Amino acid sequence: MIALVCAIIHSVKIHKNSSQARYRWLNKPFSSHLYNTWLIDRGSLTARLQQRYANFVVKPVAMKYTKPIQDEVALFYQSGYKVALIREVLLMGNNQPVVFAHSVLPSASLRGEWSDLGKVGSKPLGAILFANPKVKRTPLSYKKLTPSHALYKQAALYLQQAPSYLWARRSIFSLNCANIMVTEVFLPHIITPIR
């Protein structure tokens, strides 16, 4: 019953805050072309990448307590001054960065069953989240990131040549009223044929 109440409250907060046009993410990835099948797949991205690449690794690049970016604050319905644990990793396929993953773990969510999430290191976060059948996931939302977006800037640091935009998707995972947000920015190498 508590989980249902948490889910309803969280759904209302997400709907209320998603109306802020400045931070709007899309319900569908319009004109995403070659990225579309990657963006809309609701299964574990980690499992899919492990199937595609013989050499798949998670490379941690940042783990720090800091303020979430503005559209994340709005979605989490938090005051702008609060900090969260931000985890950023590169998902590497055959020694190439294919996804930049950015996770927001509010301090309140790092308790109980998720108390160890801040210590996963190079383990795939997705594998942990999808292994627990009690974890609920919100619908995916999508954004074509331009060079002015904070996540584009972070992801572009790991590219030799930055494209004019990057596609991203995000969702919130919930367990017993604890919520974390996972954003996955798809890098150009993911649509390059494997040789």
- Over residues 48-70, the pLDDT tens digits come to 999 999 999 999 999 999 988 88
pTM (whole model) above 0.85: yes
> What is the SS3 assignment for 161?
coil
**2-20+28-191: what fold?**
Chorismate lyase (3.40.1410)
- Rg (alpha carbons) of the chain, rounded to whole number: 16
Structure-token match 């939302």, residue found: 141
Instruction: Please give the average per-residue pLDDT across 73-79, as a whole number.
Output: 66
Structure-token match 């559209």, residue found: 71
Q: What residue ranges do the domains of the chain occupy?
A: 2-20+28-191
Whether the pLDDT of residue 80 is over 80: the answer is: no
Structure-token match 């994340």, residue found: 72
Instruction: Please give the average per-residue pLDDT across 151-177, as a whole number.
Output: 94
Across all residues in the chain, what is the average pLDDT?
A: 84
The percentage of the chain sitting over the pLDDT mark of 70, rounded to a whole number, equals 84
Whether the pLDDT of residue 81 is over 90: the answer is: no
